[in-house]
Structure 1
Amino acid sequence: MRGLIVSVVCMAVAGLAACSSSTRAPQGPGVCYHVVRDGEEVRFNVLAEDVESIEFCAARLEEMRLNFLRMGGSTREIAGAYQGQFIFIERAGVYFGQTLEGGRFFALARTGDGRLAIPGAIQRTPAPETAD
């Protein structure tokens, strides 16, 4: 019985150690960061301050991405951070995550013209029925 308890405790400690190695976002209130990954190094560059919400930070990151593309850049996916959350701007839309390496959840979708919108707000009109 004692061996079982020791093994369970060791597994729990190993699991916590694996979780602690993941990159965490800064907690600065209202600060929107652009995240740059350079090999093993991760840098957090301040993009904007006094940002109201994570959605506004995502909009600022999208604006930065589009400006870089207009200047001839080729980066289509970027990452950012806001109050302990990571923001991932990708082709399909915007994803949020707790860690840089961990899972992500879908937050904003791209509309037909490339803008970002809340997924439930996009309404598609049904295709007209054709008579055979």
Structure 2
Amino acid sequence: MRAFISAIVLGVAAVGVAACSSGMEAPRDPGVCYYIVPGETEGEDPRQIVVAEDQPQIEQCAARLEEMRVRFLRMGGSNREIIGAYQGQFIFIDPQGVKFGRTLTGARFFALARTGDGRLAVPGAIVRDEDGRPVAVAENPPTAPAQ
């Protein structure tokens, strides 16, 4: 009887692990930036569309995705949130900024924030007013004159 119960517990655990690992993984092609198009029907796998190649960093991939998002909005599109992928990580772009994550549904790391005029910047470089709203991007410190 104990062997039977142990077999059932192991079977349920195996099904649980399989369910957790069945999520989509971000493509790992070096330097390739992808736009991830969610499936239109339940159970349909998302499509991966190449946006740019030879991108040296994930931030540049995020910039290409933001550029694509803005172009679609200017043509009359209504999608303000998009998902991309770069070398094993997902990129999430929304009205607040850019976030990175290893999975589509897991935790996300806040990487770039929107400035007061809608541009993207590193969060520490944004000057905020007393209400906490972004005002502008801080300037680079002045460089010393060449001697």
User: Above 0.5 in TM-score?
Assistant: yes
Aligned counterpart, 1:109: 113
Who is 2:127 aligned against? 123
Distance 1:69 1:108 in 2: 20
In 1, Cα distance between the equivalents of 2:120 and 2:61? Answer: 13
Counterparts of 2:7 and 2:121 in 1: how far apart (Å)? 50
Query: 1:43-122 residue pairs with structure 2 within 5 A?
Result: 43-122=47-126
| Larger gyration radius, structure 1 or structure 2 | 2
Checking the alignment, whether the CA contact within 8 Å between 1:23 and 1:101 is kept in structure 2 is: no
Q: State the aligned residue count.
A: 127
Deviation digits for residues 80-102 of structure 1, max 9, x if unmatched? 00001000110111111111222
Whichever residue aligns with residue 27 of structure 1, its letter is R
Code of the residue aligned with 1:23 in structure 2: it is: M
Cα root mean square deviation, aligned = 2.3
Residues in 2 aligned to 1:106 and 1:20: alpha-carbon distance in whole angstroms: 24
Provide Cα deviations, 1:62-91, integer angstroms capped at 9, x if missing partner: 000001111111111111000010001101
The AA in structure 2 aligned to 1:32 is C
Name structure 2 gaps, 5 residues minimum. 132-147
> Comparing both chains, which one has the higher relative contact order based on Cα–Cα distances under 8 Å and sequence gaps of 6 or more?
1
Q: For 2:114 and 2:8, locate their aligned partners in 1 and report how far apart those are by CA, in whole Å.
A: 48
